[in-house]
Copies of this chain bind each other. A is one copy, B any other.
Amino acid sequence: METLRLYDFLPSGNCYKIRLLLTQLGVPFERIETNILQGETRTPEFLAKNPVGKVPVIEMDSAKYLTESNAILIYLSEGTEFLPYDRYLRAQVFQWLCFEQSIREPIASSRFWTSVLCKPSEYKQAIEQRREPGYAALKLIEDHLQNYNFFVGERYTIADIALFAYTHVANEGGFDLAKFSAIAAWIERVKQQAGYISITQEF
């Protein structure tokens, strides 16, 4: 196989999921920085790779592309310790990936406007509208982690990677994580995993 290419944007939580898994898998990859703030996901060349106009995208040999962060996580983790072999445990991982996608927006958008665009005043109303659904999502995550060390099967899997990406930086969107003690403990457990890299680590 040729070296895997990752069309990547460093501040993106969805891109970070893939960087983190690839690093933990020890799979070499070429990062192609794709600045969404400068329209680089909207060029004809990029839209030919992903008509939806979003990163991350991975490019494998023979110009084979794959998009959608959680689908890429599944693809890359099949047959590894990051995706359970047991059918019901694996299904629970898929369930948490869908859950993550369904609750991501309020937390990810608040962070984007506040700490990526750095325009919290301009987006004040939109951010305020996302407080309630964002905290409701964090409460569901907290409740689960009050009873379990990791999301599925008491092991670190791609469900943890997917949920970690935006949850651990929710404070960058103005969410107060101090009241979520189980989330805080889980964040520390994730950071202890072999091969962990931070979202801001340069390559």
A residues within 8 Å of B by Cβ? 51-52, 60, 64, 66-72, 74-75, 78, 87-88, 90-92, 94-95, 97-99, 101-102, 140, 143-144
Besides the contacts A68-B94, A74-B94, A75-B88, what 17 more A-B pairs have beta carbons closer than 8 Å?
A: A52-B140, A60-B88, A64-B88, A66-B88, A66-B95, A67-B99, A68-B95, A68-B98, A68-B99, A69-B98, A70-B98, A71-B95, A72-B91, A75-B90, A75-B91, A78-B87, A101-B102
User: Nearest-CB distance from A108 to chain B (Å)?
Assistant: 12
Please name the 6 residue pairs, one residue from A and one from B, whose CB atoms are nearest each other, closest first.
A68-B98, A71-B94, A75-B91, A71-B95, A68-B95, A71-B98
User: Nearest-CB distance from A64 to chain B (Å)?
Assistant: 6
> How would you classify the secondary structure of chain A's contact residues: helix, strand, loop or mixed?
helix
Minimal Cβ-Cβ distance residue in B for A60: B88
Q: How far is the CA of A67 from the CA of B99 in the complex (A)?
A: 9
Q: How far is the CA of A141 from the CA of B32 in the complex (A)?
A: 27
